[in-house]
Structure 1
């Protein structure tokens, strides 16, 4: 499909770009997107720390009182959970959340995420700014009608001046093409791609 290239302020730039239907023209599948988002969020989680139970505590195992006649319970050692410094009873166990997902499913998920944003996709020639100021960029976005959550993806590297100007804009995030991922694409209202980003993303799948 062909898409008109625009400037950041929403005005039309020279030329069009042909988007690969194998990347931007797929029918969205909720099941694949759900699997990839779940995989992505699970792998962000750190390892859950476990508590030391009775067998893990370093305390004496010597019986510290008589079996009878002391007027207290019959304890064998100080590792019992009722004592200060004793092991935790039924404490949390160590858990890791590094789930695996087939590379083909991950690649398909990214294609489906890009395809789902075709109706809210803006392709710009570059991210060059006349004035690299947050206030000026906010006015440019307002003029272009870019409201809500906006994800901007650049090529090999993000334009440094643009990234600095966009840093304080609420709801605006900037990524290089290599950092494009399903979760970030889906959670934003509008997707802005540079010409270089389109080339990088399409080459990523062709490779």
Structure 2
């Protein structure tokens, strides 16, 4: 698959051949859904916690005698049915992460990249370098390329000026190629890859 490569100033910078095994697959929504669910579950904090009846600081004495009062039998004021008592079956601190096979995760990334290539929302730039770290200038650069809401993936190391100029622009995410992931690809309409990122992805899946 050949795609026209652009430079940051909007000019054509030749063509780049994308691997059919990475960018030419027929996207499967079920695999993408499994991967997004895996990512969101893994990043969930899971720090929610309520006090059970064993954790309530309250008297342990029996409320009243067992028999003869005409009322129901109760043994503890910490029981959930009483005001100030413990919570019944409340949330506890835990990890929400679940397993997903490594091969499925790798396949999901390929399908996410293929989905962007198939829909025409993939842009390849020759390099991501800025002469100066000026956000205003970077906004004009992106406007010239037609980029308004995008995930931008650079090489293994991002140019410091480019990263600094881009990080404060709304709806623009910039990541090194090591940080590429399915959720971020799908949540932005446009995917922008540098030539170095394309080479690194093809080397990774070789």
The verdict on a shared fold, with TM-score over 0.5 as the criterion, is yes
The SS at the match of 2:193 is: strand
User: Which residue number corresponds to residue 116 of structure 1?
Assistant: 115
Following the alignment from structure 1 to structure 2, what is the Cα–Cα distance between the partners of residues 37 and 130? 36
User: What is the aligned-residue RMSD (CA, Å)?
Assistant: 2.3
Change (3 A) 1:66 1:35: closer
Following the alignment from structure 2 to structure 1, what is the Cα–Cα distance between the partners of residues 128 and 64? 77
Moved over 4 A (4+): 67-74, 82-85
User: Which residue number corresponds to residue 159 of structure 2?
Assistant: 159
TM-score by length of 1: 0.87
User: Which residue number corresponds to residue 30 of structure 2?
Assistant: 31
Using the TM superposition, name which of 22-31 and 67-76 deviates more.
67-76
User: Which residue number corresponds to residue 87 of structure 1?
Assistant: 86
Following the alignment from structure 1 to structure 2, what is the Cα–Cα distance between the partners of residues 17 and 116? 18
- Structure 1 residue ranges without an equivalent (≥5): none
User: Which residue number corresponds to residue 201 of structure 1?
Assistant: 201
Change (3 A) 1:90 1:22: closer
Aligned residues: 204
Q: CA deviation at 1:101?
A: 0.5
Do residues 189 (structure 1) and 189 (structure 2) align?
A: yes
Using the TM superposition, name which of 1-10 and 100-109 deviates more.
1-10
Q: CA deviation at 1:107?
A: 0.5
User: Which residue number corresponds to residue 147 of structure 2?
Assistant: 146
- Structure 2 residue ranges without an equivalent (≥5): none
Using the TM superposition, name which of 89-98 and 113-122 deviates more.
89-98
Q: CA deviation at 1:31?
A: 1.0
TM-score by length of 2: 0.88
